[in-house]
Homo-oligomer: A and B are copies of this chain.
Amino acid sequence: MSLSFRTARHEDVPAIVALLVDDPISASRTAVPGLDYDSAFAAIDADPGNELIVVESDGEIVGTMQLTFIPGLSRRGAVRLQVEAVRVASRHRSQGIGRKMMEWAAERARERGCGMIQLTSDKARTDAHRFYASLGYEASHEGFKLLLS
């Protein structure tokens, strides 16, 4: 399978949202105040610290992830890459796409001078945890969320 990676365009938003919602854990979450999708895409697209990525195979979007580059004074001034909203289309799972995506993200992190990559994963996603551990990620932190009403 040949994969190509690129920054998302506005017309990709429906396909990306379809990937995000095709997930029982995401679907079960409590709604919080948000933008409409077009405004949210525009905010990501205008922000040089964020890259919304789509992965294509034969012209079809089979994966997505959002990369956020966070400068900081911690860890001796390291820039962090944070990876959010990683999804592979359900009918394309277990084909190594997720692994290629994380390898691509690590390469992009190096290009942008990052010292580390971080992500959080819902505690219910035990398969994902084994996957990240297999890539060398250490589950060193507790991930806390507070919904605002």
A contacts, CB < 8 Å to B: 13, 16-17, 20, 26, 29, 31-37, 39-41, 43-44, 47-50, 52, 66, 68, 70-79, 82, 84-85, 106, 109-110, 113-123, 129, 132, 135-148
List of B residues within 8 angstroms of A43 by Cβ: 71, 79
Given contacts A72-B40, A73-B52, A77-B34, whether A117 and B145 have CB atoms under 8 Å apart is yes
The answer on a CB contact under 8 Å between A17 and B139 is: no
**Total identical chains:** 2
Main secondary structure of the interface of A (DSSP, over half): mixed
| A35 CB contact (under 8 Å) in B13, B41, B71 | B71
**Which B residue's beta carbon lies closest to that of A149?**
B115
Beyond A20-B73, A40-B78, A118-B143, 7 extra complex contacts between A and B, CB < 8 Å: A16-B73, A34-B77, A40-B79, A68-B70, A115-B148, A123-B140, A141-B145
If A49-B47, A74-B85 touch, whether A79 touches B34 (CB-CB below 8 Å) is: yes
